Amino acid sequence: MKYFLQKEKLALNFIAGSLLTAFSLAAPQVVAADGAAERIRLLEQRLQAIQMELEKVKSESSQAAQKVNTIEQTTNQTVQKVNTIEKNNTAMKETLDPLKERVGLTVTEKQKKLFFRGGFAHMLEGRDGSSIRSDVVPLGVQERSGTNGWYAGAGLDWGLTRDLFGLMPKTTLFAELMFEYKEFGSTPGNALANNPTLLAGGALNPRSVTVSQFSLSASPKIKFFEGSKVRPWVIPFGLAVHVVSPTTESITYLAPGVHFGAGVDWNFYKDFFIGIDGRYNVTAGKMDGVRIDGMTAGGYIGVGF
């Protein structure tokens, strides 16, 4: 009996040892399986998070695409409206411009002009001179020249600014360079113009002496109402140099002075215009006994280029 009990105890101990050994060997495999399952679960969570982010990006991209489409549609509508407005403006301009041209409301004016002048000339005093009237040789007819005559000339306008250097809009400043020839008729000459001269004892036979004057001036010209076919203008001052013929008794023929003027232009066809003007020239008193102050009044025709 005791033998059987010992044998059974040994068997139990063997079984217990075997079970302990089996559990010891199986425990790492169970732990490894649990770790793999945990990693798989974490990967699944990450994949789900990435999928959610992708869905969010897709949604935002779709909203952005919708906004871009909306902006494109709005832009296209705006472009269509602008094109429609431009077409309407072009049609209106094509309709109104001929009317404006007919009634003289607008004109595109060139900034360079060439003009030709002519008209009436007047001196404030009759001319003295070496062959007209002489205080040195008081012999012969001794008549002064007339004070009225005619003039002809030409000039060039050169545009400098369209708004008077920012001071006045639609007011053009031109630089004018002009020359003119004035003639005041003829008058019998004094002893020096007698044929033969009275100083040599000849009979009274005076020659006619032509009284003339050449003037060259440079002036600023201020022209108002740019864009209109009718434009008044003024020359506030300018420099003029006069050449007189015949010369003075002292054989002087050059005289500087101040030049003033005013007038109005009318653009009657394309770049062609006509106008009227008045000019006044002042010198510093008499030049060797001769006063050449005077005025002109007349018309002109010109072309812009």
Q: What pLDDT is attached to residue 296? A: 98
Question: Does the pLDDT at position 203 exceed 50?
Answer: yes
Write out the H or E segment, with its range, that includes residue 69: helix 2-103
Q: Which one, of 273, 271, 270, lies nearest residue 233 by Cα? A: 273
pLDDT surpassing 70 at residue 197: yes
Q: Please name the residues in contact with 179: beta carbons below 8 A apart, sequence gap of 6 or more.
A: 153, 154, 155, 214, 215, 216, 217
In a 3-state reduction of DSSP, which class is residue 75? helix
Residue at which a domain ends, from 72, 103, 134:
103
Domain shared by 210 and 300, yes or no: yes
71 and 91 co-located in one domain: yes
Mean pLDDT of 208-219: 94
- Is the pLDDT score of 298 beyond 50? yes
Least confident residue range of 235-239, 281-285, 288-292: 288-292
Q: Are residues 255 and 122 in the same domain?
A: yes
Q: Residues 9, 120: one domain?
A: no
Same domain, 96 and 203: no
Q: Where are the beta strands (DSSP E) in the chain?
A: 112-123, 148-161, 172-188, 208-223, 230-235, 239-245, 254-269, 272-283, 294-304
Check whether residue 209 and residue 287 sit in a common domain: yes
Provide the pLDDT confidence category of residue 2 given band limits of 50, 70 and 90: very low
Whole-model pTM above 0.75? no
Same domain for 146 and 291, yes or no, is yes
Q: What is the mean pLDDT of residues 144-164?
A: 94
Residue 47, pLDDT above cutoff 60 = yes
**pLDDT of 102 above 60:** no
Q: Report the chain's mean pLDDT, rounded to a whole number.
A: 83
Q: Count up the domains in the chain and report the number.
A: 2
Do 2 and 46 share a domain, yes or no? yes
Q: How confident is the model at residue 57 (pLDDT cuts 50, 70, 90)?
A: confident
Structure tokens at 91: 């049609």
Mean pLDDT for the stretch of residues 183-201 = 80
Q: Which of 86, 103, 120 is the last residue of a domain?
A: 103
CA distances from 52 to 44, 238, 297 (A): 12, 87, 95
Range of the domain at 245: 109-304
Q: Are residues 148 and 272 in the same domain?
A: yes
pLDDT of residue 170: 92
Residue 294 sits in a domain whose CATH number is: 2.40.160.20
Q: Which of 101-105, 143-147, 288-292 has the lowest mean pLDDT?
A: 101-105
pLDDT attached to residue 4: 45
The answer on pLDDT for 276 being more than 80 is yes
How much is the CA Rg of the chain, to the nearest whole Å? 54
Cis, peptide link before residue 236, omega less than 30° from 0: no
Q: Is the pLDDT of residue 297 over 70?
A: yes
If asked whether residues 61 and 41 sit together in one domain, one would say: yes
Residue 110: pLDDT over 80: yes
If you write DSSP's letter for every residue of 266-277 in order, what string do you get?
A: EEEETTEEEEEE
d(CA 127, CA 122): 11
Q: Lowest-confidence range among 28-37, 113-122, 269-278? A: 28-37
pLDDT above 50 (res 77): yes
Give the domain-ending residue among 103, 128, 160.
103
Average pLDDT over residues 96-125: 76
Q: Is 223 helix (H, G, I), strand (E, B) or coil?
A: strand
Paired tokens of 292: 């050449």
